[in-house]
């Protein structure tokens, strides 16, 4: 099942990152560059780094210059995240290229890779919520509240994992079909962001 593979690799990437807990530490992807595993590890690594960037930009004492620098790094990370999701969808499009959809086949509200994107973020929420349940500097009320939230996140992970596997099986069987739209993010494109293209005049 793809979801089991994805969840295992997401946990691996999150654990690897937290060995050093360093936003600037280069990724050491252990999987072959042309594999789905490589893309899944890369996806979660980007998400994990960005998670910690988002923490940094919310420091109450952050200087505006540093805040702007973090915001621009987060924008770039979002672009890399989107690109990686689209690479994962390309993998699935290739995998299912020979599948002939049934005449009554339906399209899903999101592509497999965008569902996997949500699974990666869930893995991060689960990791960090679990850490909150272990805090010795927090109250028992806080730890218990986080344990309850963790149980909900784990249920979400189970349900989303099942839904992803069912979607892929439906596509494989021709009951559903993939139709992927590029995200076409405009804010990073100097030809599409009016603030950027006006600055050049």
pLDDT beyond 80 at 197: no
Q: What is the pLDDT of residue 193?
A: 73
The pLDDT tens digits for 12-60 are 999 999 999 999 999 999 999 999 999 999 999 999 999 999 999 999 9
Of 187 and 152, the one with more pLDDT: 152
Calculate the alpha carbon distances from 96 to 83, 106, 164, 168, 181 in Å.
20, 15, 15, 9, 17
* Distance, CA of 25 to CA of 22 (rounded, Å): 5
Average pLDDT over residues 81-85: 96
Are residues 179 and 107 in contact, defined by beta-carbon separation less than 8 angstroms? yes
Percent of the chain, pLDDT > 90? Answer: 88
User: CB-based contacts of 170: which residues, under 8 Å, 6+ apart?
Assistant: 176
The pLDDT tens digits for 170-187 are 999 999 999 887 766 666
Calculate the average pLDDT of the chain. Answer: 93
Q: What is the pLDDT of residue 46?
A: 98
């Amino acid at each position: 099942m793809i979801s089991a593979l994805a969840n295992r690799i997401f946990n691996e990437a999150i654990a690897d990152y937290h060995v050093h807990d360093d936003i600037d530490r280069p990724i050491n992807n252990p999987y072959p560059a042309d594999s789905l595993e490589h893309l899944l590890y890369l996806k979660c690594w980007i998400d994990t780094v960005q998670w910690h960037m988002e923490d940094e930009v919310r420091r109450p004492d952050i200087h505006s210059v540093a805040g702007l620098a973090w915001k621009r790094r987060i924008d770039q990370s979002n672009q890399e995240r989107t690109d990686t999701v689209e690479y994962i969808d390309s993998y699935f499009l290739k995998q299912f290229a020979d599948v002939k959809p049934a005449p009554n086949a339906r399209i899903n509200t999101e592509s497999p890779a965008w569902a996997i994107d949500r699974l990666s973020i869930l893995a991060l929420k689960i990791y960090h919520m679990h850490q909150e349940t272990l805090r010795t500097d927090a109250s028992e009320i806080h730890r218990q509240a986080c344990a309850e939230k963790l149980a909900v996140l784990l249920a979400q992970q189970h349900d989303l994992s099942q839904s992803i596997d069912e979607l892929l099986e439906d596509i494989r069987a021709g009951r559903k079909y993939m139709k992927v739209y590029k995200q076409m993010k405009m804010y990073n494109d100097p030809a599409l962001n009016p603030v950027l293209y006006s600055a050049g005049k």
